[in-house]
Amino acid sequence: MKYAAPTSVEEAQSLLAGDADAKVFAGATDLVPQMRAGRPEPSIAIDLKKIDRLMALGDNGGSWTIGAATPTSSLTGNGAFSGDLPGLSYAAGLIGSDQIQNRSSLGGNLCNASPAADSVPAMVVNDARAVIAGADGTRTIPVADVVTGPGSTCLGDGEFLVEIEVDKPTANTSDAYLRMIPRTEMDIAVVGAAARVTLDDSGNCTAATIALGAVAPTVVRVPDAETALVGGPISDESLAAVAAAASAACNPIDDKRGTIAYRRQVAGVLAKRAVLQAAERVQNGGAA
Amino acid sequence: MTATEERPDYKYVGTRPIRHDGLDKVIGKARYAADLVLPGMLHGHILRSPHAHAKIVSIDTSAAEAMPGVKSVVTGADFPDLGAAPNGDLAKNVIARDKVLYEGHAVAAVAAGTRREAMDAANAIVVNYEVLGHSLTIDQTMSPDAEILHDGLITRGIEPAPTEASNIVARTCFERGDIDQAFAESDVIVEREFSTTPIHQGYIEPHACVADTGQDGKTVVWCSSQGHFRVRSATADVLGWDTSRVKVIPAEIGGGFGGKTTIYLEPLAVEMSARSGRPVKIVMTRDEVFRATGPTPGSKLKLKVGAKNDGTITGVKAWMAYENGAFPGNAAMLGCMTVVSPYTMEHMYLEGFDVVLNKPVNAAYRAPSAPMAAFAMDTLLDEVAENIGMDPIEIRLHNCPSEGDPAPYGPKWPTIGLKECLEAIRDSDHYKSPVPENAGRGIASGFWFNIGEASSATVNLNENGTATVVTGSPDIGGSRASMALMAAEELGLDVYSITPVVGDTEVVGFTDVTEGSRATFATGMAVVEACRDLKMQLRQRASTAWDCDVEEVEWVDGHAVHSPGDHEALSLAAITAAAKRTGGPLGATASLNARGAGPAFSTHVVDIAVDKETGQTQVLRYTTAQDAGTAIHPSYVEGQMQGGVVQGIGWALNEEYIHDADGRMENSSFLDYRIPVASDLPMIETIIVEVPNPSHPYGVRGVGEVGIVPPLAAIANAVHDATGLRMSDLPMSPPRILAALGEAVE
């Protein structure tokens, strides 16, 4: 296995394009455990952390640009970012331990394509976009379209993720992410639920997006739950409808981390609680 | 915090100095077995069985032997067949001979220049297996059509003896009175069936060793263990060597909890070192630790408890089956001996079954077999108390044994402190506080025997007036600090003037494994005895100097004092400085079989919140009271108490082995084998109870194990209080609790 540390997107792209067994990595917090577990080593491990653009966190006024290899600790440690997107910041902070936080990235969390990735549902509810580099320059697609199944993405040969763009929330809008793990940290989501809601001045919900993790091969949006919320106040009835819709939207598996029945039931509970938490944040002026 | 304060006025015993080995550990200077690097050292790797049960038809190592860097390849055929001789099963566990009995069972080992070369070569070994049916549960392995693990295994303890082999190792029975009469006289009878899964000890340091075998036919082994003398004898047995050819140097140990009282790697490293003429290191991965080293057993228990309306237990009937893993053991017998020990009763019928099945062979884990038994017993006692409307502490006090009562397993109880533990919890701030909203509170007690066994200590006085204390007990819980404190108390030396050392098998006398909570008790006794010998020598040196009878010399606070008062006191340093001129260096050795280990009891109270929508539990508050006899170093006593509780919490709530249909473990990592993390837990509050053990010079009982016994039942009882559910299958994980809540609703 060779190691390369290119300093530009173009250099990285040409290394990747020339070798079908080459692999890019950011913090390697998934790559190294996978190799230790017996997966084949890449021919070249391409370290993206020497490319400035991939390590940046940019405030564009109306949006944030997050370099694909930017450590999650720089997101959680940035007060402005965490104030704008408290749910996404919280989800980013759940990946691994404090030490891992200095290596893990939203880009890696997305491209590893685990159904249980914590940050992906939170990016999806915020309509985040993925900027992907390839031989012909870059293309931008919704984050929701990147993962196509467990361990697989829509990235073609020679393509890699450069950055993620997220618009700042409009007025009276906030997000939340919650996950179920049997412990309090250092674990992988059995169920994850993200919500973003917009409330008008009288407390009626005018827009909502809800996404679930770890309950299907890819992140699941729950349109029925979103419809149930829009047009009225956050009430016991609308929350019950959210829970029922979320449970119904699941397509989970039985595995060592949870059962189908458990994931289905808890997905409803967490979707409801995430909506409540996002709504509370709106009412508290966006603060956590 | 200490519950009883009536004891002699010690100067050092009972204080909390920083442990002598602490700084090295904090700055990373402590040397563990995996740290050792020797010139020319090879790296070993073990090929393990992918099957839960299979015959080994053939092994072809020729391709592996031809691979780059490979210096030695060994299989079971390279070791003697010990048959039924001592350590015969251990030998077959270290490396399989004709059959593999669990996934992860060692089949071959390779030593090569790098770990990578050794792994690649191991993968090139061709093993032909004939896969057999396997059993993963007690029900499966006890069923008449189960595949037999050991052809000659005839169940012991059944009359007349069975004529056909089975997977049932032994039936044990403890009987007192007439159990049918007990239930006939009972106002309340409760019975349930319980199950627990195997639990790994979860030490952070994986097993590791380095062996260097010379052309003189002798070997030196550096390894992490709880007892290097047992490593020496077991390694020699497996190799078919005389014990004196093996020297074992204890490395610093990164956790054991009972799991490092046996061997896995050492004979393989020694043999490959002998064949290659090079030192060989083998270090397990976490995956290997989970698949191949000892869990404490899973169990299936049926208990029936009868009681009168005033809370008096009339009798207990128990059917208790314990997994032994792949080779026979005595887990169920220990379960029978501990299950009702915290209670008095006239009638009992306790029946135990030890069974083998296709999982790694059991290794000890803090108070082996007692936690599962207490889980069943103390859950049912809680149910009795609930049925008759009695406080859970009061019912335990009502049935509490005291000195002279017959213990369920035979002898009469010596001085014990269970009543004091119950009273300490009853009077605690925790128990007096209201139960938090949306939470429940649970109580349970536990018992463990504690043991004595053989120990040796050598104490040498240095020319500058300091002392070196050498013992044969690996320090797994702060025992070096305890040894230093007892020596300081005896000699009247500052505790930091004493250097406690764990000596290798050739510098200190034979010492049994650090197990049974025995190190501070038994090895401490040897240290005290050696120090008392030294004090006599010191008094004699003074009496010679003063030309008086030794009876006129007292040893007071580190000084020889002439009781008639004719001479100025002589300090220990003054005597050692002159030692060469007054008869030579001063040193003493004691070797003994420690008698009179003091039984340990503990009572716990816990508050648990349950999220009824997710099944998630949260431990809000936990208080443990435990009889330490005398706490030599209270901080390390508290550490043992807290450690036992935390491991019990993991056992109760989330830890479990998950196997696929072929018997392969699916969660062999700390990610998916969920021991508690720090943020899961509140600070565990401790109340040290001190009812001194009259058989020890300082009253020590031993504190390492009993703390893990009560948590399973205490937590189950708290979950019941919070939800109304009686959880009788462990772990009480969120899916299990949510499913039970759902069934309760339906």
Q: pLDDT-based confidence at B90, cuts 50/70/90?
A: very high
Token output for B589: 């050795």
Q: Report ipTM for this prediction.
A: 0.94
pLDDT (tens digit per residue) in B468-481: 999 999 999 899 99
Instruction: Give pLDDT, residue A288.
Output: 47
CB-based contact A186 B677, cutoff 8 Å? yes
Report pLDDT digits (tens) over A82-107: 999 999 999 999 999 999 999 999 99
| Catalytic positions of B, written as ranges | 705
- Distances, alpha carbon B652 to alpha carbons B98, B196, B251, B486, B710, in Å: 37, 9, 32, 36, 10
pLDDT at B50: 98
Domains and CATH numbers, chain B: 407-447+598-745 (3.30.365.10), 452-594 (3.30.365.10)
Over residues A149-199, the pLDDT tens digits come to: 999 999 999 999 999 999 999 999 999 999 999 999 989 999 999 999 999
DSSP B264: S
Q: Tokens standing for B715? A: 């937590």
Site of tokens 């019912």:
B395
| In chain A, domain spans | 2-167, 173-283
Amino acid at B712: L
* Averaged pLDDT for residues B563-583: 96
- Which of A256, A269, A276 to mutate: most B Cβ within 10 Å? A256
Asked if A239 contacts A160 with a C-beta cutoff of 8 angstroms, the reply is no
Tell me if chain B has a CB within 8 Å of the CB of A253: no
Reply yes or no on whether the pLDDT at A115 is more than 90. yes
When pLDDT is averaged across residues B428-434 and rounded to a whole number, the result is: 98
Q: How far is B677 from chain A (nearest CA, A)?
A: 7
Average pLDDT of A119-136?
Answer: 97
pLDDT value for A16: 95
Chain A residue whose CA is closest to B732 = A182
State the nearest Cα–Cα gap between A147 and chain B, in angstroms.
24
Residues 6+ apart with CB under 8 A from B260: B203, B207, B224, B225, B226, B253, B476
Q: pLDDT-derived band of residue A286, with 50, 70 and 90 as boundaries?
A: low
**Distance of alpha carbon B419 from alpha carbon B522, whole angstroms:** 25
The predicted-structure confidence for B350-402, as pLDDT tens digits, reads as follows 999 999 999 999 999 999 999 999 999 999 999 999 999 999 999 999 999 99
How many percent of chain B have pLDDT more than 70?
99
If residue A28 lies in a helix (H) or strand (E), which one and from where to where? Answer: none
Three-state DSSP class for residue A241: helix
Average pLDDT value for chain A: 96
**Yes or no, beta carbons of A257 and B672 under 8 Å apart:** yes
Q: Note whether A262 contacts B738, CB cutoff 8 Å.
A: yes
Q: What is the mean pLDDT of chain B?
A: 97
- Predicted confidence (pLDDT) at residue B717 exceeds the cutoff of 50: yes
Q: Which whole number is the average pLDDT over A246-257?
A: 93
Query: Domain A2-167 belongs to what topology?
Result: 3.30.465
Sequence-separated (6 or more) residues with CB below 8 Å from residue B568 = none
pLDDT exceeds 80 at position B5 = no
As its CATH architecture, domain A173-283 has 2-Layer Sandwich (3.30)
Judged by CB atoms closer than 8 Å, whether chains meet at A265 and B658 is answered as: no
Q: To the nearest 5 percent, what fractions of chain B are helix, strand and coil?
A: 30, 25, 45
Which residue of B613, B676, B739 is in closest CB contact with A183?
A: B676
The H or E element containing residue B436 is: none
Look at residue A54 and tell me whether its pLDDT is greater than 80: yes
Chain A: give the shortest CA distance to residue B688, in Å. 29
Of B614, B672, B735, which has the smallest distance from its Cβ to A259's Cβ? B735
Residue A261 pLDDT exceeds 60: yes
Q: What percent of chain B has pLDDT over 90?
A: 97
pLDDT tops 80 at residue B263: yes
Rg (chain A; Cα; Å): 19
Inter-chain touch A182–B616, beta carbons under 8 Å = yes
- Round to whole Å and give the CA distance between B593 and B47: 41
Asked if A187 lies within 8 A of B676 by C-beta distance, the reply is no
